[in-house]
Amino acid sequence: MRYGTTIMDDIGNEHPRRNLRLAERGALEERLESEPKEKAAQIKGELKSLPRKEHDYEKKFAKVRAEEKAFLAKASERKTTFEGSLADSDPTIRKWKLEAMESRARAEFYAPHADLSYDFELLAEQHRMIAEQLPAIADTRRETLDALDAAKADLEAAKKEDHSQANADFRRLRKERLKQRGEEKAALRKLYKSGQISSKAYVNEKHQKDLAAAEDIRSMKQSLKINMLADRVRYLKHRLKQDKKQGIAVLNSDISDLRRKTPIEVTKRCPWISYLTFPLPGLGQLLLGQTFKSIFFFIGSLYIYLIAIPYALGRGNYRGQGLFGLVSLAEGASRLDRSVIFMIEGVIAIILLLIAFLIYYNSFRDVNRNEKKMISGIRLNNWFETKTAAKHKGFPYFASSPSALVTLFIVLLPIAVTVLISFTNYDPTHQSKFNWIGLANYKQIILGQGIAGGPFWLITGWTLIWTLFATSLAIFVGFVLALLVNQDRVYGKRFFRTIYLLPWAVPAFITIMFFSIMFSPNGPLTALLQQLTGQVINIKESPWGTRIVLILLQGWLGSSYVFLLCTGILQSIPKDLYEAANIDGATGFQQTRHITIPILLFQTAPLMIGQYTFNFNNFSIIYLFNGGGPFEPSKYGNLAGSSDLLISYIYKLTIQKQFQGIGAAITMIVSLVLIFFTWIGFSRSKSFREEKL
């Protein structure tokens, strides 16, 4: 990277270099790029012969630096001299005025050398601002302190006076105001009883009368002399704090603007600090002068070297071996050690290392970016600028960090363990210790082989049929009922809405268990079917009978939610659309097709897609109604029944039969398929694309 003859400030303005040695070197480097190749050797020779410490600019700059060192060494002497001229006793005011006097002296020192370096120019202007603004802030504080002392004196004097008459007047006025409020509320009561105002208006007006009376009484009380003086004392104390914060904030803001407009010149051309300090986050920020920021990254370093890396190496594990436990899975360990514990702690180690890597990366990126800024001429943020930026830009990160950490261990950890288990032989014969077997579980599932993978495709087919028909039926029933109840010609809408919401209001397991009993071999509905058909029809022993009842039952249970959703949207559709359609001669069916359905789909598409996903994994209705039966061992073996969904099949595999490995593999396949189809559904819906209807 060449030096160039100009540098850039934080706003984007170009400035000529004031370091004449770097400017000469930059000019030669620019010539080297633009001149013909035959002159390259000559220019390179000039670059090599260019003096460094012997350069006139460097000598002059070193001389000023020596003068600066001697000047700053006398700061304590100047402070002693300045203190003798201060008469104010307030420590904050004395501090500000001492700082202003010192800044004035420094501004006078740096001003003659401003043309030599942008650093000197910045220091001269910065100290000039401090010398001008701090005395004004101090004078404002002195005025407030004087006013506060006077208010306190007036308050103490007022406490010694006799206020019995004022208090008596206050009590009299308060009593009169309460009496007036009672008369106003009595008048309102007469209006309400005579039917001139509604109950809602009566309640609102009474509340307003109470508020008005309370406000008037509060004003009377505050007008008492002691209360007025006490309020003034509190106000002046508040002003002392706020004026101090505001004054210093304005000064820091002005200094910040000055820093953004004033570039910096550095001799390095490569951001080497970021590369050298990468292993220790915080060190780079410290070397760049950002002390407060470095503290936070040093805390990250402590986390990396005291928590993340030791845990990954096995220190502090419950029973595992950190990352090595993921490889060994407790092979060769003691009899009490379990592979699943080794796997879980290995995944935790990976998560901790990922967090450590983020700390490494962010620290490196911060230092590298700041170094490149300095090389281009931009000054780094001071603590005030860093703190201000963190408040505005960093708030979303600070607010979401706790939830992100919780999500890592509550969501990501179980998912990662499930993925890993799907590549193991975790089954009834390998409960304590299992091994990696690669894609064997997935192969068994896809080919439909083995005791666990055999019924997979049969259950998958029924799951798809169930999801499509049960959800579509619930949506259709809910939509039709909402349309019917929303008609102006229908009376008793409250009654019908209550009836249609009962399936949702009553706990679903009660309804499911009720129908399970009704369809039992000796149940009332089974007896009714026998009387109607003259044959013994046992629904719970018939595969398709059970399936049809389950679809109808879920259609009824799910219709209430769709009904409620559609009812709210139908009531919000502007009547003007239907009036315009009537004028154009549209029939009721055409209005429903071209107005009602598009608006409903636009508003409810994401929720309807969620209904399909929910029913795909609807475990409770399958388990409670018939336990997944009826069972057909010739087709499904002894692991599943003809009405089992994939979710209940996974439950039986993992919880009841202990086939955790292949159960995890099925879970991953189901999850990926659901994610894919849900994404397609969302991405194709108008509401997801934020299109206008």
List 6's β-bridge partners, or say none: 16
Label residues 281-308 b or e (16+ Cβ within 10 Å = b): bbbbbbebebeebbeebbebbebbeeeb
Instruction: List pLDDT tens digits, range 661-692.
Output: 999 999 999 999 888 888 887 776 665 555 44
Which pair of structure tokens corresponds to residue 104? Answer: 């004035």
- The crossing angle, in degrees rounded to 10, of helices 56-73 and 20-34 is 150
Which pair of structure tokens corresponds to residue 548? Answer: 């049809």
| Alpha-helical runs (H) found in 163-290 | 164-193, 199-222, 225-261, 272-276, 283-287
Length of the chain: 693
Percent of the chain that is helix, strand, coil (3-state, to 5): 75, 0, 25
| Alpha-helical runs (H) found in 377-492 | 383-392, 395-407, 413-421, 440-447, 450-453, 456-485
The answer to whether the CB of 118 falls within 8 A of the CB of 266 is no
Token look-up 């049809």 returns 548
Which pair of structure tokens corresponds to residue 275? Answer: 């590369």
Q: Is 596 exposed, middle or buried (0-12, 13-18, 19+ CB in 10 A)?
A: buried
Nearest to 246 by CA among 144, 161, 128, 352: 144
Q: What is the pLDDT of residue 587?
A: 79
Largest Cα span, the chain: 117
Which pair of structure tokens corresponds to residue 228? Answer: 């007025």
Using 70 as the pLDDT threshold, list the residues of the chain that sit under it.
1, 684-693
| Rounded distance between C-alpha atoms, residue 4 and residue 24, angstroms | 9
Q: What is the pLDDT of residue 1?
A: 63
| Rounded distance between C-alpha atoms, residue 349 and residue 315, angstroms | 10
Instruction: List pLDDT tens digits, range 376-421.
Output: 999 999 888 888 888 888 778 888 888 888 888 899 999 999 999 9
| Rounded distance between C-alpha atoms, residue 636 and residue 646, angstroms | 13
Query: 408 Cβ partners below 8 Å, 6+ apart?
Result: 351, 355
| Rounded distance between C-alpha atoms, residue 661 and residue 654, angstroms | 8
The three-class DSSP label of residue 6 is strand
Give me the half-sphere count of Cα atoms (radius 13 Å) on the Cβ side of residue 449: 7
Nearest to 603 by CA among 579, 570, 581, 631: 570
Q: What is the pLDDT of residue 245?
A: 93
115, 465, 631, 643, 649 from 539: Cα distances, Å: 97, 19, 13, 12, 21
Which pair of structure tokens corresponds to residue 312? Answer: 């990954």
Query: 445 Cβ partners below 8 Å, 6+ apart?
Result: 453, 456, 662, 665, 666, 669
The answer to whether the CB of 206 falls within 8 A of the CB of 182 is no
Which pair of structure tokens corresponds to residue 382? Answer: 């001071």
| Rounded distance between C-alpha atoms, residue 3 and residue 23, angstroms | 7
Query: 443 Cβ partners below 8 Å, 6+ apart?
Result: 449
Nearest to 451 by CA among 423, 427, 430, 420: 427
Nearest to 479 by CA among 577, 557, 570: 570
Amino acid at the residue 250: V
